[in-house]
Amino acid sequence: MAEIDAENACVTWVRTGDLDEVVRVFGGDPDTGAEETVDGLFGIAYEDLDEDASGVVLVARHGEWAVLVEPFAFRGGNLALLGAITASGEAYRVAWNVNMVTSICYVRHGEVVSLFDAFDLEGATGREWLDELSVSEADWRADWQATAFAVGEELSGVRIDEEWLTRRHALYQLRRPVFTRTAPRLRVDERMRAIAAADPRIARIIAEPTPDKLPEIVRIAADMAVTTAGIDGPLVEEALGLIAEGSRSREVVLRLRDLEKGFTARAWEAYHASPPETRDDSIGPGHDTTYGRWVIKSVAAQALGLTLDPHADLPAMALEVVNTAGGTYLSEENGDIARHHALGEVAVFLEGD
């Protein structure tokens, strides 16, 4: 079993009767595929894409199954999209980013069966499905990516090995995703009502959770990320100004990505400068270490960049921004964790609306 050595990636195994339709749903044109390897895919930068494209995917066909690999702007991270392509099939998605935030999901017949973080199996939804797999908790702790890929092979029979990685597969640039959403119901429990009572902005969003509330959800989530991380400066102010106006800018997104990379580089510098006996086994976000705080700044810059992508689908983008803001280790004392819960519930509801 090989691994994909990339800081950011989304790998989706899909079983469907119409793979061309999957490519269309992701935002690609099945008639325009080129050939590329996995290494070539990860050599593509956002600025290398056509002006109207916002993502790229490598698609490997294996009978009923296909494996789709994305280096950024993950379509496979959209649960509503996965539900749409699995109406009569199934999909298994493994995604991670440079800050070691992972998201693993199994969807069957349009329904999410299990959703979990490789580093937090106790918090998994659909734990019954997870427990039925041939892999163990010890396997996840020892090598989470190899274990995740082993599950993909168990489901599909497709093995990601060195030969697969060096083989040429179909490459598609992606525009706006195309699929029909199904409308869920918003569940308002006691915790949600308590949050609404404490914050009038949340109260207004919950009282009428309609698509016109999405920009406000994005603004609140972005503000929480920036404030928690303590990032500032002209670029951050410019980004917040655009968010307040409801505007987007590809040029600002590119500059924010440079800022994010700079923060990540500082995090690694601080990590390697820390005494080995006092640092964690791997770099990760947190407020208790210098390198952890730099990682949090990187996550906040990533959240800002997500808000300004001119080609992003607003419901999916809002959910991704909320989820990313959560990676800044929000404060419980000031109510941000509660706000994040409420925003996440509404964003999931609207992403499927």
Rounded (5°) CA angle 345-347-348: 65
Q: Rounded to an integer, what distance in angstroms lies between the CA atom of residue 38 and that of residue 139?
A: 25
pLDDT tens, position by position, 60-74? 999 999 999 999 989
Domain boundaries, the chain: 9-174, 190-351
pLDDT tens, position by position, 160-206? 999 999 999 999 999 888 776 554 456 676 777 888 899 999 999 98
Q: Rounded to an integer, what distance in angstroms lies between the CA atom of residue 182 and that of residue 187?
A: 16
Number of H helices, E strands in the chain: 15, 9
* Closest listed residue to residue 310, CA positions, set 223, 222, 353, 247: 247
- Give the Å distances, CA to CA, from 142 to 2, 10, 148, 346: 15, 21, 11, 35
- pLDDT, mean of residues 294-309: 94
Cα dihedral value 237, 239, 243, 248, nearest 10: 150
pTM for the whole structure = 0.61
Strands 65-70 and 55-62: antiparallel
Contact 98, 264 (CB under 8 A): yes
Look at the alpha carbons of 169, 173, 179, 183 in this order and tell me if their dihedral is positive or negative. positive
Q: Is the pLDDT of residue 352 over 80?
A: no
* Closest listed residue to residue 348, CA positions, set 83, 36, 104: 83
Q: Rounded to an integer, what distance in angstroms lies between the CA atom of residue 345 and that of residue 169?
A: 37
Give the 3-state DSSP-derived string for 123-168, with helices as H, strands as E and coil as C: EEECHHHHHHCCCCHHHHHHCHHHHHHHHHHHHHCCCCCHHHHHCC
Could you give the 3-state DSSP secondary structure of residue 213? helix
Q: What is the pLDDT of residue 220?
A: 96
Among the ranges 79-88, 150-159, 274-283, which has the highest mean pLDDT value? 150-159
Q: Which amino acid is at 152?
A: G
Q: What is the pLDDT of residue 173?
A: 95
Other Cβ atoms within 10 Å of 24 Cβ, number: 17
